[in-house]
Amino acid sequence: MNGRCSSSSRWTTYAFASVRADNQATHPARTKSRWLVALFAIAIALVACGHQTSTPVTGLARIRAAGVLRWGGDIQGGEPYVYDDPKHPGHLVGFEVDLAEALGRELGVRTEFVQNDWANLVPSLERGTFDVIMNGLEITDARAGRILFTRPYYVFAERLMARKSDRSIAPALPSLEGRKVGTLANSLAFDILRGHADTVVYEGVEEPYTDLQRGRVDAVLLDDIIATRYGVPKEDLHVVGDLRDGFYAIGVRQNEPDVKEAVDAALERIAARGELHRILEKSQLWNDRQTRLEHWSSEGSAKLTNPAPAPATFGVGHALLFLKGASITLFVSVLAMAIAIPLGLALSIARLFGGAAARRLAGAYVEIYRGTPVLLQLYFLYYGLAPVLRLGALPAAILGLGMNYAAYEAEVYRAGFAAVPKAQMEAALSLGMSTPLALRRIVLPQAFRHAIPNVTNDFIALLKDSSLVSVITVVELTKQMSITAIDVRSWVVPGLACAALYFAMSYPLGVLARRLERKLEGEHEMAAEIEAGPAARAAA
């Protein structure tokens, strides 16, 4: 028996001895508590011994014991990777779905797809959300320092596209200096463009080419698979050229080399019997570059990356980028609130004092904006209305958040108006004031005073909701944090720095809101004493 088990056994023996002693001493209450201690000691002993003697389970053994290989990807990447079958919604198809099923057959398990944001596939793999990554994951030096890569299953080219009317862009990085170039965040193309272009990052693959058509970016650099399906069909765009080749491979956790070896062997068998060829041919992906995959060697995989680089450390340069992101967050939030306050006030006045049509329109605005996600509203404003309303990313972010928060501000002001006694309005009208004049001089100042604390709280919420504007290519504080986290291979320090900056921006507003609330409560108490004064004197 090992030391931990023997120690636990001694405590168990002692506990039972105490129980027997208490039984002999006939103390029922003490005996009951001793029995509980004894049972607790047994539980500890079992856990300690079981933990000590259990054999570590390898990754491959775990997968086979579960009978399922869970692979992570992002359906937003679309066709031809992993996507919903248009004829059978809810059923996934794509060349990676076919490849996953082939792998499952080779390993003797079934396969299960796990949806995950593409930019965060690597950290999700590291935390154990799924077993492997297979979703157009490019082999890069930075990723090779964090996870294991299997042999490649596809060779792609980084393809540059531009508008046909712009012939000044050449298939070379120097021609992109000072240009806005769209790509996916944390991709190989993103790494290539660093230091050579003003990179605009996107969440999806359709949006970059839409923005290229609309003139929001000057070029797009993405994998040839993506360019062929989403860029080439747009008649006003053309292929400038390919900058370099890249490789898709399956990502595996660093501490599970047995999984990598098993998947490598399975991929080799799939390629050797021509099944990989058939899978790629089915999705019209087979070309001359893919012949390199049929006779791949471990030496070939070793040449795909340089020696794993040391992770970057969070330093002054990253801190400056965070401050820049925080300034964009604050800029967007302040201007959005500057739209929300007057628009919300107008909506509340229309609902309370307007005609029937104005009340219905204002009510519909409030309910629609409160009843739909702000993320959807931003997408609709920036992409959906692009053919008729060509807004830049920052104006769209400010307008979208401002219009959304106006609906909430309208309810805040409506509550403020309700807190003003109706007699105030009636008295003003009886003195000959018009309704607009009475509102402006009598009711509105009092209602606004009641609403100010809630307006301040809404501004704090708006600061945090501004992180959503990254979906329309605005690199604010949260987006900068996610980019930096990939660079330094850690979410802890960037996450803490991001949280500290949000706190630094929101805490003073919270203090201000509490002071305003205390001041308002004091004014209420003073007014109540003044009103009660004559009555108290009369009673005396």
DSSP bridge pairs for 70: 112
**CATH number given to 316-537:** 1.10.3720.10
Within 8 A by CB and 6+ apart from 215, the residues are 163, 390
Exposure string of 502-531, with b = 16+ CB inside 10 Å and e = fewer, is beebbeeeeeebeebeeeeeeeeeeeeeee
Residue 529 has pLDDT above 70, yes or no: no
Please give the structure tokens belonging to residue 495.
């996450």
Q: Among 470, 492, 468, 495, which Cα is nearest to 481's? A: 495
How much is the pLDDT for 357? 93
Residue 251 has pLDDT above 90, yes or no: yes
The helix or strand, by DSSP H or E, that contains position 331, with its residue range, turns out to be helix 316-353
Q: Tens of pLDDT along 365-409?
A: 999 999 999 999 998 998 888 888 888 889 999 999 999 999 999
Q: Tens of pLDDT along 270-281?
A: 999 999 999 999
Alpha-carbon span 448 to 268, nearest angstrom: 71
C-alpha torsion angle, residues 323, 203, 388, 345 (rounded to 10): -50
Please give the structure tokens belonging to residue 243.
């900058």
DSSP bridge pairs for 78: 82
Winning range, highest mean pLDDT, from 77-86, 148-157, 419-428, 490-499 = 148-157
Give long-range contacts, CB 8 A cutoff, 24+ apart: 306-314: 306/141, 308/141, 308/144, 308/145, 309/141, 309/142, 309/145, 310/145, 311/145, 311/488, 311/489, 311/490, 312/487, 312/488, 312/489, 313/488, 314/484, 314/488, 314/490, 314/493, 314/494, 314/497
The structural domains of the chain, with segments of one domain joined by +, span 3-53, 316-537
What three-state secondary structure class fits 361? helix
Mean residue pLDDT across the chain: 83
How much is the pLDDT for 406? 95
How much is the pLDDT for 488? 73
Q: Tens of pLDDT along 470-485?
A: 888 888 888 888 878 7
Q: Tens of pLDDT along 353-365?
A: 888 999 999 999 9
- Phi and psi at 472, nearest 5°, equal -115, 35
Do 133 and 248 meet the contact criterion of CB atoms below 8 Å apart? no
Residue entry with tokens 């109706």: 422
Q: Would you report the helix, strand and coil content of the chain in percent, each value rounded to 5?
A: 65, 10, 25
Confidence of residue 4 (pLDDT cuts 50, 70, 90): very low
User: Which position has the higher pLDDT, 157 or 470?
Assistant: 157
What distance lies between CA 132 and its chain's CA centroid?
A: 20
How much is the pLDDT for 11? 45
User: Which position has the higher pLDDT, 189 or 520?
Assistant: 189
Q: Among 126, 127, 123, 122, which Cα is nearest to 140's? A: 122
Amino acid of residue 443: V
How much is the pLDDT for 353? 83
Please give the structure tokens belonging to residue 442.
């009598």
How much is the pLDDT for 16? 47
Alpha-carbon span 324 to 302, nearest angstrom: 38
Within 215-315, residue ranges assigned H as helices are 224-226, 257-272, 275-282, 298-302
| Residue % of the chain over a pLDDT of 90 | 47
Within 354-491, residue ranges assigned H as helices are 356-371, 374-379, 393-419, 422-430, 435-438, 444-465, 477-488
Beta strands 148-149 and 88-93 are unpaired
Amino acid of residue 504: A
Give long-range contacts, CB 8 A cutoff, 24+ apart: 355-364: 362/410
Residue 510 has pLDDT above 50, yes or no: yes
The distance between the two most distant Cα atoms of the chain, rounded to a whole number of Å, is 105
Per-residue CA distances from 429 to 173, 356, 413 (Å):
71, 21, 21
